[in-house]
Chain A
Amino acid sequence: MKHQQYRLIIPFLAPALGLYALFVLYPYAQAIYLSLTGWRGTSENKPWVGLDNYHRLWNDDRFTEALSRNGQLLVVLPIVTILISLTFAALFTQGGDGVRGAGFYRVVFFFPQIISAVIVGILWSYIYSPNIGLLNGVLRALGLDSLTRTWLADESTVLWAIAAVSIWASVGFYMVIFLAAMQAIPTSFYEAARLDGASRFRSFRDITFPLIWETMRTAMIYLAISALDFFVLVVVMSQGPNTATARRTEVVSVYLYNQAFDKSRWGYASAIGVVLLLLTLLLSVVIMRLTRREVYEY
């Protein structure tokens, strides 16, 4: 019997494990090796340069600027997204017995999350368009002409205009996970608090918040990872061939892509990839540590 079971285990694991090893694990390992070489262009030759690429990255202004953009996104995206989605989730569950039309709102809010980022990016490029765009149109209709901008062509607004789209698209997703966590809290907790005369704000702060903390940590890690990636929207909305603001939105992933597929600096681009990996891991660990608190079981 024992021996026989391998006749099933091996053929059942082989396709998944084989493809995974070949197309996922091997490239990851290879990237670390390539990052230590000066491989570039069409040459077959991969000269060993040790940590040179990393040293150059450290002094590469374009890279550090790109990194600081990711840094800004890393602060703003999680805070704003969590604030909005948490507010909505709290509004949905207030008092324990939902809001009328909750199902409708939920379906609508979640929708942008599943739409291709390419569509979202193109659509919003036109919404931000100075003349035919909806945003300036709305502002003019409200008499706020002074606020109208050429959003994606203005160096001071372009990155945040794109960040806003990312928030717009993901709020529904985070709202749904917060909602699920909140609905798992027994209503008796709230009833007890109400009998004790606790205000709605207090019962949110002292009951809901601690009990959804684990979900909050997960959300922070997800959002941090998406702030480190942030590729498709930037490429679609501001990296076209005649976009003057392309440099202003160059985040690390875009810089990596350009170094690799425009400049053919394979070794250097791989080093950027390794830095991106280390940052992802480091951030996850830091967030897990900083947000560690007692877990309440119920």
Chain B
Amino acid sequence: MQTKSKANRHGWFGITTTHLLLGLWAAMVIFPFVWMVATSFKTDAEIIFSPWKWPETIQWSNYSRAWNKAHLGRYFFNTLIVIAGSLTGTLLFSAMAAYVLTRFDFPGRTFIFYLFIAGMMFPVFLALVPLFFLVKDLHMIATYQGLILVYIAYSLPFTIFFLTGFFKTLPGEVAEAAVVDGAGQYRVFFDIMLPMAKPGLIAMGIFNFLGQWNQYLLPTILMPDEHKYVISQGLAVLAIQQGYQNDYSALFAAMTITMIPTLLIYVIFQRRLESGLTAGALKG
């Protein structure tokens, strides 16, 4: 009885069309990535003469060429150094600011909150020229610390926005009880509030990791030293070079390597990531 009513409602035709449409789009998304990974294991001759076939033998050497000769390994570690600094800074400073902005009442609180939020509206392009000269005047062009500080600054608005929303949902009683017990305010924050805010911090950690891993515009102007290129920069340069040298296989291997951290994070944190990424759109 139940199945019958269900079939009537959707109709055999409707279900088929639905799966056809969804399946087509899924294929359009999956196929390019599968092609990319398959191509990364081929020889250059195979790429040109049989772009549709699976690789004859797996060419691991493409990966070692990409990692060593094309310096992708170096770019990979440069990016990790930058992100280790910027992610820690982003989370710590945002959590501290968000905590104060939600838990204390002081003059100018609302103003400061909206000052941060305003940063989400402005196009980075507006700041590009002055930012370049500012970092230059601070002697931080082509340095890790320059990029780290700029990444933190531009990640603050959304992270603070998200974490203030998060801190508001946390119960205040625990913290208040601890203060009565004579624990210092700093201890309350680090020992009680931060652990309670862990889900929010993880969501923002993933969100900012991806944003900073994929960042291209800022390093392009702030990191002109090719020894310190970050990965997206290195990849873009590689794409131009390999176009000349016809070493497509190393380029596809480099793209696959660059995608792996993102893919891993996506597989592990899929749901959390989705909610973090869409939070601004849903609440805003």
Question: Counting CB contacts under 8 A, is B274 at the interface?
Answer: yes
CB pair B22–A256 under 8 Å, yes or no, is no
CB-defined contacts of B52 to chain A, threshold 8 Å: 137
Contact with B along A258-280 (1 / 0, CB 8 A): 00110000100110111011001
Q: Chain B: interface secondary structure?
A: helix
Contact between chains at B217 and A284 (CB < 8 Å): no
Contact check, B278 vs A273: say whether CB atoms are below 8 A apart.
Answer: no
C-alpha gap A91/B217 in the complex (Å): 37
Minimum C-beta distance from B102 to chain A (A): 11
Q: Which residues of A contact B1 (CB under 8 A)?
A: none
Is A142 interfacial (CB-CB < 8 Å)?
A: no
Q: A88 — which chain B residues lie within 8 A by C-beta?
A: 21-22, 25
Complex interface residues of chain A between 131 and 157 (CB less than 8 A to chain B):
131-134, 137
CB-defined contacts of B115 to chain A, threshold 8 Å: 20, 25
CB of A270 within 8 A of CB of B97, answer: no
B32 to chain A: which residues have CB within 8 Å?
A: 123-124, 127, 134
Q: Which residues of A contact B100 (CB under 8 A)?
A: 8-9, 12-13
- Asked if A269 contacts B104 (CB within 8 A), the reply is no
Asked whether A116 lies within 8 Å of B232 as measured between CB atoms, the reply is yes
Bin the interface of chain A by size.
Answer: 35 or more
**Is B266 part of the binding interface, using a Cβ–Cβ cutoff of 8 Å?**
yes
Interface residue? A6 (CB, 8 A): yes
Residues from chain A with a CB closer than 8 A to the CB of B104 are 5, 8-9
**Total of A-B residue pairs, C-beta within 8 Å:** 251
Which residues of chain B in 79-96 are interfacial with respect to chain A, using CB atoms and an 8 Å cutoff? Answer: 89, 92-94, 96
Chain A residues whose CB sits within 8 angstroms of the CB of B153 once the complex forms: 19-20, 22-24
Chain B proximity mask over A240-270: 1 for CB below 8 Å, otherwise 0: 1100000000000100110011000010011
Within 8 A of B (CB), among A33-84: 34, 84
Interfacial chain A residues near B213, Cβ < 8 Å = 116
Complex CA gap A4/B99 in Å reads 16
Q: How far is it, in angstroms, between the C-alpha of A112 and the C-alpha of B30 when the chains are bound?
A: 9
13 other A-B residue contacts (CB within 8 Å) besides A222-B281, A260-B128? A16-B97, A24-B156, A88-B21, A95-B9, A105-B26, A116-B213, A116-B258, A122-B239, A122-B251, A123-B255, A137-B51, A231-B217, A280-B123
